[in-house]
Amino acid sequence: MPKASLLDFSREIAGLVAATAPAIAAVHASRHNSSSAVHWRDGLFVAASETIETEDGITLTFQSGGTAPAEFVGRDPTTGIAVLKSSVPEGVSALRPAGRIEAGNLVIVVGRGDASALAGYGVVAEAGPAWRSMRGGLIDRRIRLSASIDPRAEGGAAIDAEGSFVGLVLFGPRRRVLVIPAETVDRVTATLAEKGHVPRGYLGAGLHPVRQAKAHGAMVMSLEEGGPAEKAGLVLGDIITAWGDEEIDGVRDLIRRLGPDSVGKTIALRLLRGGEERRVEVTIGARPRS
């Protein structure tokens, strides 16, 4: 590749980072390193939930070096998103959402380390359909990056080659760089801004994994009085083996299905009771807030 082309490419990347950086704030909500947050709109910033260790005394640092206190609005552990509210420097606007993302696409990660912008560069290692997190959150697209980023950039923005917002950057298992897509960020942030939390599905039953030759699933070990499971007629010792037509492999598999979108739905559970197969319809409740 000619030298001039490399210089042009380098300048393009730097220009995209510079254009995105005003919308990224450094977040001080931990006893350890700072992290990053992205201005969503209307004075709301989205951040990585795991980096927000305290809900009081949070401050944001902007590109100018100025700081402002931030109010904790809420978090959704199922998608890893937290929302903060603060003043917004003049001229800072929301990032426009990106379009289609495919494996191999160039992606730039923009975070903030106080007054300095942080940048990471890589490609989309995996692009797939919607999936559920281990805690049951519905993520609209699977986007995993092949990139090395500064830990302080967690909660920053992944942008495409046009500078559009692909999504919020989080660290997944084994420190893999995951992106929570813009459409998930929009949906969850709107709910958190309105309610302060995202309702989660609730059975009202204590469960234990079962892996026998004749049955895999979740055994009912306890029932909460008046809870959805008790109202539906489940009893102690029942082994839940299927959610609708989908077999259940264990407790974790069942919990993943109790995401926010399950609240209020009536689900046919297949179960074993005394070795006999039964079907019970249960209306999923909303988990009480602790």
> Please, what are the domains in the chain?
1-197 (2.40.10.120), 201-286 (2.30.42.10)
Percent of the chain residues past pLDDT 70, beyond the cut? 98
Calculate the CA dihedral of residues 208, 131, 264, 285 and round it to 10 degrees.
Answer: 30
Mean local confidence (pLDDT), 45-74 = 95
Q: CA–CA separation, 13 vs 10, rounded Å?
A: 5
Q: What pTM does this model have?
A: 0.83
If one counts every other C-beta atom within 10 angstroms of the C-beta of residue 276, the result is 7
> Looking at per-residue confidence, does 137 or 103 come out higher?
103
pLDDT greater than 70 at residue 138? yes
The pLDDT score that the predictor gives to residue 132 is 87
SS (H, E, C) 156-183: CEEECCCCCEEEEEEECHHHCEEEEEHH
| Residue 269, Cβ density class (10 Å: 0-12 exposed, 13-18 middle, ≥19 buried) | buried
- Return the SS3 of 246: strand
Band the pLDDT of 173: cuts 50, 70, 90: confident
Would you say 234 and 267 are in contact if contact means Cβ atoms under 8 Å apart? no
Token pair, residue 59, equals 């401050």
Residue type, 179: V
The pLDDT score that the predictor gives to residue 3 is 60
* Tens-place pLDDT, residues 278-289: 999 999 998 887
Band the pLDDT of 2: cuts 50, 70, 90: low
| Residue 45, Cβ density class (10 Å: 0-12 exposed, 13-18 middle, ≥19 buried) | buried
Ramachandran region of residue 155, left (φ > 0), alpha (ψ -120 to 50) or beta?
left
Would you say 157 and 177 are in contact if contact means Cβ atoms under 8 Å apart? no
> Looking at per-residue confidence, does 175 or 140 come out higher?
140
**Cα dihedral across residues 202, 203, 204, 208: positive or negative:** negative
* Tens-place pLDDT, residues 207-219: 999 988 778 899 9
User: How far does CA 105 lie from the centroid of its chain?
Assistant: 22
Token pair, residue 21, equals 């950086």
Would you say 263 and 191 are in contact if contact means Cβ atoms under 8 Å apart? no
Q: Which of 82-91, 165-174, 209-218, 240-249 has the lowest mean pLDDT?
A: 209-218
